[in-house]
Amino acid sequence: MRYFWNRFLRIYPGLWVCLFLTVIVAVCFGFNILYLRGGAWIMAQMAGIIFTPDFLAHFGFGSYNGSLWTIPIELQFYFLLPLVYLLAARAQSPNLVFFILLAIFTIIEFFSVLYLPDTGSLPKPITEKLFNYSFVRHFAMFMAGVVLQRLGVYRSNLIFGKGFLWIAVYLLFLYIVPSSAATIVMSGLILAVCTVSLAYTLPGIANRLLRGNDISYGVYIYHGLLINIMVTMHLFHRIEYLLFVWVGAYLAGYLSWVLVERNFLRRKRVKLKTLVSGDILGAVQRTGDIFPDTCWAQRTERLLTAPPSTKLSQQKQRQPAQG
């Protein structure tokens, strides 16, 4: 239950505040939400069942928040992940289970792209909409991440520190190779490798810039709302409007983290400070394993693992003598 409680704290508090602000913005623009049907819709959104009702069809670009459609899929992944690892734990070769699941859902994704292509704004049958909102359509990408993690590909010289190279590979594949169902699926797998490589390129720069503030979720849930505000006000086709959305999304992400998410994450069964320190230490240890001569990694690892009294004495030694 600790796993599900921690996932709940990561997703729902920030989502609920974003939903509350969305309702306020929509009402200010003249949309009637505060009635029985609107209340039922709000309850569904709070549960993570994300959809745009017909009374918000003209809000912004037609979706009340275009990024939130992935929330129900993400929740399905959270429910399935323990089952996947339970299945792997019962097998003689756990990694083989992950490879088989990746292969199965990659094939499913191929036939989904082949027979249920993205038709843009054209109306779709309800069955196709439900399929697109299910984990089945997207589980291949999730399993690709699991397999890459299990294989420890970040240790490879082809992955570690090669993020910009993988961006170039991804873009070249996307724009040079003729589009087909097979290439669309393949581009998703290349994107998975690109994402992992970027995560291990210039390690530590995010922590130096953001100083431990995890704004990613806030940027993700608020940028769609900001775009809708701009579209509803007919503010588009100018570069300054794009900059407003960009800066506004990062500011909203920071405020969401400081005022909402961080406070709830402190209620996790494992303390947030312990998790952050463990993540940093793990990254440092991995860097030291890959580059044994990296002195800064070894010094940082010793600092993180040293007892508090040792850290305090080291800080005093670095302070200039007074008097």
Place of tokens 């400081």: 258
The pLDDT of 68-76, averaged and rounded, is 94
pLDDT of residue 51: 92
Question: What ranges do the domains of the chain cover?
Answer: 70-201
Q: CA 239, CA 259: separation in Å to the nearest integer? A: 30
Q: CA 257, CA 252: separation in Å to the nearest integer? A: 9
The pLDDT of 120-131, averaged and rounded, is 79
Please say if the pLDDT value at position 200 is more than 70: yes
pLDDT of residue 210: 85
- What share of the chain in percent tops pLDDT 90? 68
Q: CA 90, CA 102: separation in Å to the nearest integer? A: 18
Q: CA 321, CA 267: separation in Å to the nearest integer? A: 41
Alpha helices, H only, the chain = 2-28, 36-46, 71-89, 94-115, 126-132, 139-151, 163-176, 181-199, 205-210, 216-232, 239-256, 262-265, 272-290, 295-305, 308-318
Half-sphere exposure in the Cβ direction for 37 (13 Å, CA): 7
The pLDDT of 86-95, averaged and rounded, is 93
DSSP secondary structure letters along 148-207? HHHHTGGGSTTTTT-HHHHHHHHHHHHHHSPP-HHHHHHHHHHHHHHHHHHHTSSTTHHH
pLDDT of residue 20: 96
Q: CA 23, CA 17: separation in Å to the nearest integer? A: 10
pLDDT of residue 256: 97
pLDDT of residue 207: 80
pLDDT of residue 236: 86
How many other CB atoms sit within 10 Å of the CB of residue 53?
Answer: 15
271 sits in which H/E element: none
Written as six digits, the tokens of 52 are 């745009």
Written as six digits, the tokens of 77 are 């992944």
Q: What is the pTM of this model?
A: 0.77
pLDDT of residue 122: 66
**29-68: pLDDT as tens digits:** 999 998 899 999 999 999 999 999 999 999 998 899 989 9
Flag the least confident range among 92-106, 178-192, 219-233, 263-277.
263-277
The pLDDT of 186-203, averaged and rounded, is 92
Please say if the pLDDT value at position 119 is more than 70: no
Q: CA 252, CA 127: separation in Å to the nearest integer? A: 35
pLDDT of residue 317: 47
Flag the least confident range among 6-15, 16-25, 42-51, 269-278.
269-278
Q: Which CA distances in Å does 245 have to 64, 110, 127?
A: 16, 34, 34
Q: CA 19, CA 30: separation in Å to the nearest integer? A: 17
Written as six digits, the tokens of 119 are 């038709």
Q: What is the mean pLDDT of the chain?
A: 84
**143-172: pLDDT as tens digits:** 999 999 999 999 999 999 999 999 999 999
**217-263: pLDDT as tens digits:** 999 999 999 999 999 999 988 899 999 999 999 999 999 999 999 99
pLDDT of residue 301: 40
pLDDT of residue 315: 46
The answer to whether residues 25 and 56 touch, using CB atoms and an 8 Å cutoff, is: no
